[in-house]
Amino acid sequence: MRNKLISFAQTIANIAQKPITPCMAHQSPYIISFGYFWTHSSLNASQDSEKYLFHPLFAQESSCNNHCFRYEVGTELGVAWLIIYFLLSKDFFQQTQQPSTASHIKQILDDLDIGFLASESNLGEEELQILSEIPKNSDMTLILGEELAMHDEAIEIAHIIGTLAQYLNIHIVIPTLETTITPNAHCSNIVFAPCESLPESNGNVIYIVPTETQPYILQTPLLFAPQNKLYDLQPIILKSHTQSFEACAKIDSHLKGTIGILYLPQESYQQVGYPYQKVEVIAR
């Protein structure tokens, strides 16, 4: 997991020609979070910052400055394209000082099927328009979760993010990095493959996170696995196509959505990879 994360960050740094840091060096007025599970104390971000939070789970922080975009599990590649599309508007390309490069990127974005990507990602085109309202010369921070590095399309996602950071004043933060990643090469002439399909995530889906206290607890919203009729503190087995976990169901009436959160010890979490898994829930 650690090697994948470093490779992911290094790819972005080499394309963007910017460092990738583990913490926020300063408070930006605009914060975009992608693939990072936002909680009440996330990164000590300023309450005054305008936040755009992209994640399949509901953010645990409520604020009038938060714009939450819940996308379908597995569709991160489509979401990355949507973010760059709405941040780099046509007005931006008319103003850029890099016309040759900009025309290439503009053509790629013009060819995207935005309606398809938004629909398959479970995001609305109208709600995403708010990204295009961010002033293009603004200071922004882009926070990335390590789960993006574990995605099957991680390299393509890194290419998109690195390209975006070339054009905007964006500081990139990956909170789980142990140290700052600086560019060690220059990547150019990135070839992007067309995004013509995105995966579906039907069934019971869990999100796996590391914990140092109370491992093997499955925090479940009321809508998780309703056919299993789980009761609080029920012993269960979660069986995916590659792994199985013994856990205890902890029903949380305040947890929104349909995705359960499984807490694992750090050493077990490191073996998981992509943290979303479709599981069969078996009562013990």
Provide the residue count of the chain.
284
Distance CA 271, CA 214 (A): 18
In the chain, which residues fall in CATH 3.40.228.10? 2-173
Identify the CA nearest to 139 among candidates 24, 249, 42.
24
Distance CA 42, CA 6 (A): 21
Going by the DSSP 8-state scheme, the letter that residue 216 receives in this structure is S
Quick check: 99 pLDDT over 50? no
Summarize pLDDT for 17-68 with one digit per residue, the tens. 999 999 987 889 999 999 999 875 566 667 788 999 999 998 776 665 689 9
Contact 146, 174 (CB under 8 A): yes
What CATH superfamily is the domain 2-173?
A: Dimethylsulfoxide Reductase, domain 2 (3.40.228.10)
Q: 51 - beta bridge partners?
A: 31, 66
Distance CA 203, CA 28 (A): 38
So what CATH class is 204-283? mainly beta
Q: Higher confidence at residue 147 or residue 25?
A: 147
Summarize pLDDT for 227-240 with one digit per residue, the tens. 778 899 999 999 99
Contact 140, 30 (CB under 8 A): yes
In this prediction, residue 165 has a pLDDT band, given cuts at 50, 70 and 90, of very high
In the chain, which residues fall in CATH 2.40.40.20? 204-283
Mean pLDDT of the chain: 89
Q: Higher confidence at residue 284 or residue 102?
A: 284
Distance CA 47, CA 65 (A): 8
Summarize pLDDT for 2-12 with one digit per residue, the tens. 899 999 999 99
Summarize pLDDT for 82-92 with one digit per residue, the tens. 999 999 876 66
Residue 71, judged by CB atoms within 10 A of its CB (0-12, 13-18, 19+), counts as buried
Summarize pLDDT for 246-262 with one digit per residue, the tens. 999 999 988 889 999 99
